[in-house]
Amino acid sequence: MSVHINTIPLENRSVNYILVIFTVNEPLFYIDNNVEAMDHADYLKSVSIFSDLKDAELTSIAKNMSLSSFSKGEFIVMEETEGKQCFFITQGSVKITRSSKEGREVILAIITVGDFFGEMSLLDGETRSANVMTLEETKVLVLNRDDFMATLEQYPRVSIQLLKELTIRLRKSDLQIASLTLSDAEKRVGLCILRLADEQGTIKRGHVKIRKFPYQHDIANMAGTSRETVSRALVLLEQSGFIQREGRKLTIIDYLQFQREFD
Ligand code: CMP
């Protein structure tokens, strides 16, 4: 029996793993990373940027990945450090944050199983754009920069999916910026909509529908503002792409995003 101890250098620490090869007479039995790569490939199917790839292609990408575990509250990535790896979440969730000049934490996103992070600094060669901290015990598959870049070059379908993901992220950031232009009273209207969605809404694929949205004067009373402010806020929220209205029906387009902006 031979025992190999390998070290995977991660950005914030090193992880040791032990590969044990049992030798029982002849022929030799190797416990190699093929089985693990196939398990990882299975998971990769659920990651949007790899969704167009075939099983064999996924297995070949998975062979370059290693699994790493973090406990709750650990930093996986620190803002302004050099980026060397990209991460795919197989278990748990993380928050992506930046710190303001006064040291206040701003949450940019909360992501979970099937999501990935750490690609930005690999793509533009700049330092890490944000911190990434675990919200619970979390496992990630780690891909080094060279393998990440080689994957994009080898599989244009992955590059196109990645562009789609970055476009979705840009749209969400546009929404966030739009919400910054709302006044306090208009934000209270947003909060009211959120409460009504929690009480009466029905959720389907991230959209929440409120079938009988209350009249504007009732919302005004709930939000402690005037009917005119409610009317203006609803128009602004609709123009910014947060909600859609049709008669008395109101739909929140992306409930989680809406919750982040107004709760
Ligand atoms: P990178 O800059 O390498 O390290 C921090 C990571 O956080 C970044 O790559 C992205 O993967 C992720 N990130 C940064 N900004 C956002 C955002 N607005 N929404 C979601 N993820 C982000």
pLDDT tens for each residue of 136-193: 999 999 999 999 999 999 999 999 999 999 999 898 788 777 777 788 888 889 988 9
Does residue 121 line the site of ligand 1, with CB under 6 A?
A: yes
Atom from ligand 1 closest to the CA of residue 126: 2
**Euclidean distance between CA atoms 31 and 144, whole angstroms:** 23
Nearest CA to ligand 1 atom 16: 108
What pLDDT shows up at residue 35?
65
What pLDDT shows up at residue 27?
41
Report, as ranges of residue numbers, the positions in the chain whose pLDDT lies below 50. 1-8, 14-32
Does residue 77 line the site of ligand 1, with CB under 6 A?
A: yes
Atom from ligand 1 closest to the CA of residue 131: 5
SS3 of residue 139 by DSSP: strand
126 alpha carbon – ligand 1 mean position (Å): 12
262 alpha carbon – ligand 1 mean position (Å): 22
Sign of CA dihedral 121, 61, 142, 15: negative
210, 196 contact by CB (below 8 A)? yes
What pLDDT shows up at residue 62?
95
Nearest CA to ligand 1 atom 9: 118
Q: How far is CA 121 from CA 149, 188, 245, in A?
A: 12, 37, 39
**Burial of 121 per CB tally in 10 Å (0-12, 13-18, 19+):** buried
Domain 183-262, second-level architecture: Orthogonal Bundle (1.10)
| CATH label, 33-178, candidates 2.60.120.10, 2.30.29.30, 1.10.1040.10, 3.40.50.2300 | 2.60.120.10
254 alpha carbon – ligand 1 mean position (Å): 20
Does residue 128 line the site of ligand 1, with CB under 6 A?
A: yes
Q: 245 has which bridge partners?
A: 250
What pLDDT shows up at residue 9?
53
What pLDDT shows up at residue 11?
64
243 alpha carbon – ligand 1 mean position (Å): 26
Q: Give the Cβ contact number of residue 5 at 10 Å.
A: 8
Eight-class DSSP state of 50: G
Ligand 1 mutation target, pool 49, 93, 120, most atoms within 8 A of CB:
120
**Euclidean distance between CA atoms 24 and 216, whole angstroms:** 78
Nearest CA to ligand 1 atom 6: 118
What pLDDT shows up at residue 70?
98
Residue whose C-alpha is closest to residue 63's, from 94, 23, 33, 91: 33
What pLDDT shows up at residue 10?
60
Q: Where are the domains of the chain?
A: 33-178, 183-262
